[in-house]
Structure 1
Amino acid sequence: MKKSLLLSAIVAVICSGCVSTSPTGRTQALLYSDSEMQQMGAQSFEAMKQQQKISQDKAKTQYVNCIADRITAVLPDQSQKWEVVLFDSDQVNAFALPGGHIGVYTGLLNVAINQDQLATVMGHEVAHVLAQHGNEQVSRSQITGIGMQAADVALGASGVANKDLYMAGLGLGAQVGIILPFGRDQESEADILGLELMAKAGFNPAQSVELWKNMAKAGGEQGPELLSTHPSHGNRINELQNAQAKVMPLYTQARKQSLTECKING
């Protein structure tokens, strides 16, 4: 039991100085520094550029960069330079990584059919970075690993029969509830923060609802929300509709400025 208590104490010590609050007021455990997360993001992005095909379509690349430039122009930290890459893939997806990296797949352009809809997705992904969701997830995974070791020691010391079965159950719970990338709370948070970003950048937030309707059609039948890292399409659309009144004034104000319209030319 001494080992179990020691491991539990280590978890408590690790977490004692890493508690933070997300932009929407959630409590987060963040174990890693900004520089460490930036290094992880840079390494991951470089690996992806080596492993995946980069689009050579100049018109689409300029279009994606145009939207990214407008979104990143309204971020609090203007010292951060953002690298944007359009990957040639049928995946309907995009992502952003700490350190200023944005990846978009060409397949997304078939579902996000205008600048506002694509800005919905890109704003959402950048919001994940702003809210430090990547740090939160790797920190949770680290803490879970230590906690699993403590549970293994405790069960072994207590002589519990079928210890492996108990550990398998604990592992499944940890995977579903903690380790899976970007849980529903984080996804919902990124939806709202991303909506604010796109509105501030002069993209119509009402198109976020249309985007997710398109996503629902493209995605077909969706599994149970309980085991999904994303909110159900219906819940997501409802939340975005409820947020429109708050973000529309941001959009109206932004449209008073001279903005570059993003279009695919050629």
Structure 2
Amino acid sequence: MIKKLAGLIAIAAIVVACTTNAITGRSQFKLLPESQLQQMAVGEYQSFLSSNKVIPATSSNRDAEMVSRVGQRIVNAVTTFFKQNNMAQELEGYQWEIKLVQSNEANAWCMPGGKIVVYTGLLPITQNEAALANVMGHEVSHALFGHTNERMSQAIAAQYGGSILDAFMANKSSAAMRNIFGSAVGMSSQLGILAFGRKQELEADRYGMIWAAMAGYNPEEAIGLWERMQAYAGGGGTPEFLSTHPGPERRIEQLRKYLPEAMKYYRPVSK
């Protein structure tokens, strides 16, 4: 009887946790309150920054200044889009921060609540501001659309079963839970079962192009970026982005399909 009750509780939790994203229209499995993930992100972000070399955004550090400038334009574009679509409340709790960190990895990520990091190892692949804007728009989309929540929910449900939320609340500061969070954000290069799914990646690609276009950057640069990513991977590199689905060829094909929509938002601006 107890086992049956636990099973019913687990099923009920799953049903309640299925929500429809207001922008993408996709049904999502999200067990966790976004506010809790945002609180967790604050501590994890500071912990990451304290253990890595942050490059200050000053006039003497052109790369860091560029990352800060591009990131702020993406943030402004996102804020404008949500306001125009009467969804400003969806950004409640967001306190945006943008940092460039010294690392040979070709990676970038955005935590729930808007904590953004770009690794220096990504810049030789992006090569220009527009490509960087598409990357940052992509990563911001993962946070905005609750993809981190989805990935963590899947992992926690598999690990804890019927005691899902209680387990998270009791263990959110544990090493295991912090590892799940880090992998779900994309901080780890070994994501395993937590790799972003095809639908999540394509959502991030599509809207990343839109944010970039609204920020004044040519969304077509996303195509060249992925061609360079593919070449980098072929040369033995392992950029974080290529550990996920879909594959580079499929991704480039989809980007070309998304381009006409993104171009409707494109208004070039001077640097």
Structures share fold, TM-score greater than 0.5: yes
Query: Which amino acid in the other structure matches residue 101 of structure 1?
Result: K
* Residue of structure 1 equivalent to 2:9: 10
Q: Does 1:125 align with 2:134?
A: no
Of 247, 254, 260, 1:232 maps to: 247
Q: Does 1:69 align with 2:72?
A: yes
Shift of 1:203: 0.8
For the residue of structure 2 that corresponds to 1:31, the secondary structure is coil
Shift of 1:17: 2.1
Figure out how many residues of one structure are paired with residues of the other and give that number.
225
- How does 1:140-159 map onto structure 2 within 5 Å? 140-147=154-161
- Report the TM-score when normalising by structure 2: 0.76
Of the two structures, which has the highest relative contact order with CA contacts closer than 8 Å and spacing of 6 or more? Answer: 1
Whether contact under 8 Å (1:19, 1:28) holds in the other structure is yes
Shift of 1:32: 1.6
Q: Residues of 2 paired with 1:74 and 1:100: CA distance?
A: 14
Q: Does 1:201 align with 2:205?
A: no
Shift of 1:228: 4.9
* Residue of structure 2 equivalent to 1:33: 33
Q: Residues of 2 paired with 1:59 and 1:219: CA distance?
A: 27
Whether contact under 8 Å (2:125, 2:228) holds in the other structure is yes
* Residue of structure 2 equivalent to 1:162: none
Q: Please provide the CA RMSD for this pair.
A: 2.5
* Residue of structure 2 equivalent to 1:157: none
- Report the TM-score when normalising by structure 1: 0.77
Shift of 1:181: 3.4
* Residue of structure 2 equivalent to 1:45: 45
Of 83, 100, 110, 1:86 maps to: 100
Identity across matched positions, percent:
35
Q: Residues of 2 paired with 1:4 and 1:26: CA distance?
A: 32
When Rg is computed on C-alpha atoms for both structures, the one with the higher figure is 1
Of 77, 87, 110, 1:96 maps to: 110
Q: Which runs of 4+ in 1 moved over 4 A?
A: none
Query: Which amino acid in the other structure matches residue 188 of structure 1?
Result: L
* Residue of structure 2 equivalent to 1:155: none
Q: Residues of 1 paired with 2:248 and 2:162: CA distance?
A: 33
Query: Which amino acid in the other structure matches residue 13 of structure 1?
Result: A
